[in-house]
Amino acid sequence: MLDVAALHEAPWPDHDWENLAIRAAEAAVRQTPYLEWIDHDAVIEIAVRLTSDAEVHLLNKQYRDKDKPTNVLSFPMVQPDLLETVTQNSDDGEVLLGDIVLAHGVCAAEALERQVSIEDHATHLIVHGVLHLLGYDHQGDTDAEAMEEMERAALASLGLHDPYSIRED
């Protein structure tokens, strides 16, 4: 089963972020070959941290050598080639899939620009982050299109907007 923990801190507003993160993670996993994890005996753990731009800036610089905040960072704990057998390779029945970190200021500005709520945009970013934890990427056009389709489907299953309906070129 998926075990999603969400920790929010100022300046994120009060909200049921835990439930939002669980729904987003499950919607993302349902778009992948790993949907059996949702009801599996093994516990697949994902941690979501909603924090400040300053903290995400520091993490982005430290781990990606990019000296600026970004909307979402994903830190996978399982190598992509081991994902298919992850439920079989746990001594205690628990697997830490990884961490997702969202920056409030960047997320809030993007939500305003897209004319969606911060909660809806955070849902999209968590879906995006979970897909990264599952080995998906958007480096090439083909990979980006496939990942965007999974995001669209996950968000549609939650009754949310298509985040890629308007393109900026």
Residue 93, pLDDT score? 77
For the entire predicted model, the pTM comes to 0.94
Residue 10 phi, psi dihedral angles, 5° rounding:
-55, 140
End-to-end C-alpha distance for the chain, whole angstroms: 40
Q: pLDDT, tens digit, for every residue of 91-126?
A: 677 899 999 999 999 999 999 999 999 999 999 999
What is the distance, to the nearest Å, from the Cα of residue 152 to the centroid of all Cα atoms in its chain?
Answer: 13
Instruction: Say if residue 31's pLDDT is above 70.
Output: yes
Q: What is the pLDDT of residue 86?
A: 80
Of 124, 150, 122, 125, the C-alpha closest to 136 is: 150
Task: Express each pLDDT in 42-101 by its tens digit.
Answer: 899 999 999 999 999 999 999 999 999 999 999 999 998 888 888 776 667 789 999 999
